[in-house]
Amino acid sequence: MPHSHDIAVFDEKVNLISLQIEEIQLQQGFRKEKYLEGRAPDREVAIHDFEIELRRLLLFLNDQRLAQSIEKAINDDATAIAEVSTEEDQAEEIELLH
């Protein structure tokens, strides 16, 4: 189960990747150059590919966050269910004794 330090590091990674994507989009907005399809310079292709990889990484990290959230909910529910089950067992034992 993640600790608060792990969550902070995770959030920092998500923020940094988001900022990189925003920077790429900002830089692309300043470019006025037009190219024929399939004729973009290597630099443009590399930047485009890098943005795609950043977006994939961001999706992966968000999926991890969701999985951790689900894991936490399952663990919390398991604890609550165990407590209720114990209370019910105790109540049944008391009822049987009377």
pLDDT at 4: 67
pLDDT at 3: 64
CA dist 52 and 56 (Å) reads 6
- With a pLDDT cut of 70, the percent of the chain lying above it is 94
Q: Looking at the predicted structure, is the pLDDT value of residue 92 above 70? A: yes
Q: Looking at the predicted structure, is the pLDDT value of residue 25 above 90? A: yes
Domain ranges of the chain: 4-97
Confidence category of residue 61, pLDDT binned at 50, 70, 90 = very high
Backbone angles phi, psi at 52, to 5 degrees: -60, -45
pTM: 0.68
The larger pLDDT score, comparing residue 80 to residue 62, is at 62
